[in-house]
């Protein structure tokens, strides 16, 4: 297509309109998003409900297309409305301008993460409704708040409400990642996020002395153990070229604090690690190991957690899961090269899986540089429009399981 054709395309216009809404952290305003989605629902002919599972500032918007057999478990097409902060001085285009260049690259925060997928879900449903298609299962298209902050005010509380249970969800689709190659990443599981804080107490006193059992010595021991464990995971990746980051446990030191004065040995220090536990990690054993290290160095260390997610079984991608078979049949017919893997970071899929509902993460963006959370985030118009066609086929298949 030419730049003029892209400019005049209805779906590109809707996508750019949504991108221009600055629902950006740290204080996203979701009211314009809700108003925009209300207009979309009316235009497409979908019912709409808005829920507030955490507070009146963080909505969960559900647009619904009722199925022919509404008693069957429904399909949930999920996306999030919020986007991460921007540093405009590092962008060559306004971050919320949704400007498009001659190559059809649309520049805006959210083009990849993940306003694209939410709008592709809507566009696919719009096209299917226009074609007169009807499906067995009810389709819910959800737009949630706060995903970029861990879903604490959005999907995480929502899945435990009566409103969510009333949706009768049987299968969910959520976000994936772009791929710089020809393949399409397909995510069927996520690692458990543990944010571990070691609050280390020790002997305090004058900096001129060699006091025993200081917090600094203990901190050095704990950091050494954690970094040594990190090195084993680096080695696992290096030893298996087929592995991706989601296959191993990642451990990163993210915060250190403490100390009162340069010549005073402090009574307490704190060190924090961001840990993403691989699927093969025994959570109880991992926690016991952390406690063992604390005891080995003399005790006086309290462990707390900012996040401590449970082990959640992966979504089956075999003959036991009819939704997977329907999804795979669609992508096979479209001749898409899927690359199943475990997600690198975290998405709202983890909360859907946690309540026993199978979910897959998929963003149809191949031959695209991975720019989520980066400066000059963009998506090509052709890639976006191709993704709508892909979702039409996938939705048609999974909604008729």
Which residues have a catalytic role annotated? Answer: 82, 147
Residue with tokens 């207009």: 39
Do the beta carbons of residue 74 and residue 395 sit within 8 Å?
A: no
- Alpha-carbon distance of 192 to 401, in angstroms, equals 30
What tokens does 312 get? 């959640």
- Alpha-carbon distance of 202 to 189, in angstroms, equals 41
Say what angle helices 115-130 and 31-44 make with each other, to 10 degrees: 20
Sign, Cα dihedral of 93, 98, 100, 105: positive
Helix, strand, coil shares, percent, the chain, to 5: 35, 25, 40
What tokens does 378 get? 């963009």
Establish whether the linkage from the previous residue to 26 is cis, with ω within 30° of 0.
yes
- Alpha-carbon distance of 77 to 37, in angstroms, equals 14
- Alpha-carbon distance of 119 to 364, in angstroms, equals 12
DSSP state of 147: G
Burial of 220 (0-12, 13-18, 19+ CB in 10 A): middle
Other C-beta atoms lying within 10 Å of the C-beta of residue 43: 11
**C-alpha radius of gyration, the chain, whole number:** 24
């Amino acid at each position: 297509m030419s730049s003029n054709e892209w400019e005049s395309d209805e779906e590109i216009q809707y996508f750019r309109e949504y991108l221009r809404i600055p629902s950006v952290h740290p204080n996203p305003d979701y009211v314009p998003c809700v108003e925009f989605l209300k207009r979309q629902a009316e235009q497409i002919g979908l019912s709409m409900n808005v829920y507030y599972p955490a507070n009146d500032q963080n909505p969960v918007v559900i647009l619904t297309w009722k199925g022919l057999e509404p008693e069957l478990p429904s399909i949930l097409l999920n996306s999030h409305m919020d986007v991460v902060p921007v540093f405009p001085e590092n962008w060559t285009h306004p971050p919320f301008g949704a400007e498009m260049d001659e190559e059809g690259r649309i520049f805006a925060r959210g083009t990849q993460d993940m306003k694209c997928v939410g709008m592709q879900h809507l566009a696919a449903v719009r096209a299917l409704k226009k074609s007169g298609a009807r499906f067995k299962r009810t389709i819910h298209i959800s737009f949630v708040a706060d995903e970029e902050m861990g879903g604490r005010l959005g999907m995480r509380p929502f899945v435990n409400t009566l409103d969510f249970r009333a949706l009768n969800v049987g299968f969910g689709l959520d976000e994936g990642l772009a791929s710089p190659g020809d393949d399409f990443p397909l995510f069927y599981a996520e690692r458990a996020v543990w944010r571990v804080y070691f609050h280390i107490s020790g002997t305090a006193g004058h900096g001129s002395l060699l006091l025993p059992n200081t917090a600094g010595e203990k901190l050095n021991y704990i950091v050494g153990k954690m970094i040594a464990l990190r090195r084993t995971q680096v080695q696992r990746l290096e030893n298996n070229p087929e592995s991706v980051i989601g296959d191993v446990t990642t451990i990163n030191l993210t915060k250190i604090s403490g100390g009162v004065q340069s010549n005073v040995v402090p009574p307490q220090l704190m060190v924090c690690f961001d840990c993403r536990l691989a699927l093969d990690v025994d959570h109880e054993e991992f926690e016991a190991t952390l406690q063992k290290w604390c005891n080995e160095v003399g005790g006086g260390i309290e462990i707390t957690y900012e996040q401590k997610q449970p082990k959640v079984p992966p979504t089956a991608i075999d003959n036991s899961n009819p939704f997977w078979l329907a999804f795979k049949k669609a992508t096979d017919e479209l001749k898409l090269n899927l690359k199943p893997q475990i997600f690198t970071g975290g998405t709202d899929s983890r909360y859907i899986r946690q309540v026993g509902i199978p979910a897959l993460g998929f963003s149809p963006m191949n031959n695209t540089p991975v720019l989520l959370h980066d400066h000059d985030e963009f998506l090509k118009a052709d890639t976006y429009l191709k993704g709508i066609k892909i979702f039409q086929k996938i939705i048609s298949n999974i909604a008729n399981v």
